[in-house]
Amino acid sequence: MARFQEERQTLDIDARGFIKDRLPVAPVPGLPDIRLHLAVPQSGVWTLARDGVPPYWAWFWPGGLVLARHIMANPDIVAGRTVLDLGTGSGLLAIAAALSGADRIMACDTDANAIAAVALNAALNSVTVQTQHADLLDGPVPEAEIVLVGDLFYESTLAGRVVAFLDRCLAAHCRIYVGDIGREHLPRDRMQALGSYPLVDFGEPATAEPRPAQVWRYIGARA
């Protein structure tokens, strides 16, 4: 066990060094007070892809961006509360929650390199964010008052697992907020729309027509 932990720590240190050296720092569009290490075409970030999974954490995504904007504009959502950022990626939502007065933030992701990125991005923004490298979806409900979910409904199987997890969180009296650009597997019948912001989805050219990215309150199955 000790050897495994030592090897994992070395891997995390290498990832942090790569991110610091190769991913430049840039402000987040619409949220200039937040800065992140973000991939550019010459960064070689695919070196940090794991098990064929793209390094999603190296970019901001529209659902996370729209939800971060909503939180910063409505800090009472998280102020003084315990927050879980599920599938944190770059840590954008966790950082927005911290800057909006959240009492404690846990940022969780299945990619260890995302956890390394969150630590660096939190330090850039002078906030404290706890991190967890784990898949929480099939486990017990975490101790959180607020659950934030950005861009996790992009694939059918994953979406089903996320819905089951959020239903359990809802039963435990968590408040759940979702940001998404309207992907196919978004469970609209379980959510209440709170707001909409025009954004260009990741991967589309900057000249593309913006699409509405929405913020939702997850309310579960309707009676």
2-218 to CATH, choices 3.30.70.260, 3.30.200.210, 3.40.50.150, 3.30.300.10: 3.40.50.150
Of the candidates 58, 202, 199, the one whose C-alpha atom is nearest the C-alpha of residue 121 is: 58
Mean pLDDT of the chain: 89
pLDDT at 122: 98
**Mean pLDDT value across residues 42-68:** 89
Q: What's the pLDDT score for residue 145?
A: 98
Q: Looking at residues 47-54, what average pLDDT do you find?
A: 83
pLDDT at 66: 95
Spatial strand order of the sheet with 104-109 comes to 130-133, 104-109, 82-86, 146-150, 175-180, 211-218, 191-199
pLDDT at res. 166: 98
CB atoms within 10 A of CB 128: 11
Q: How far is CA 91 from CA 52, 142, 221, 222, in A?
A: 21, 18, 29, 31
What is the helix (H) or strand (E) element at residue 60, kind and residue range? none
* Residue 172 pLDDT grade (very low, low, confident, very high; cuts 50, 70, 90): very high
* In the block, residue with structure tokens 């720092």: 25
Where do we find the tokens 């309707």? 222
Confidence band, pLDDT 50/70/90 cuts, at residue 1: very low
Residue 77 pLDDT greater than 90, yes or no: yes
Give pLDDT, residue 51: 77
pLDDT, tens digit, 9 for 90 and up, residues 116-166: 999 999 999 999 999 999 999 999 999 999 999 999 999 999 999 999 999
Average pLDDT over residues 78-99: 98
Evaluate if pTM is beyond 0.75.
Answer: yes
Helices (H), the chain: 2-22, 62-73, 92-99, 112-124, 156-171
Q: How confident is the model at residue 202 (pLDDT cuts 50, 70, 90)?
A: low
Residue with tokens 């066990």: 1
Closest residue by Cα to residue 72 from 125, 113, 116? 125
What residue spans define the domains of the chain? 2-218
Q: DSSP secondary structure string, 82-143?
A: EEEEET-TTSHHHHHHHHTTBSEEEEEES-HHHHHHHHHHHHHTT---EEEES--TTSPPPS
pLDDT of residue 94: 98
Task: Check residue 42 and give left, alpha or beta (phi > 0: left; psi -120 to 50: alpha).
Answer: alpha
Q: pLDDT band for position 203 (50/70/90)? A: low
Q: What is the pLDDT of residue 60?
A: 87
Q: What is the mean pLDDT of residues 41-69?
A: 89
Of residues 183 and 164, more confidence is placed in: 164
What local confidence, expressed as pLDDT, does residue 106 receive? 97
Q: Are 112 and 12 in contact (CB under 8 A)?
A: yes
Q: What is the pLDDT of residue 13?
A: 44
Tokens of 37: 């290490």
3-state secondary structure of 15: helix
In sequence order, what are the residues at sequence separation of 6 or more whose Cβ sits closer than 8 angstroms to the Cβ of residue 186? 153, 159, 178, 180
Structure token pair of residue 22? 């190769």
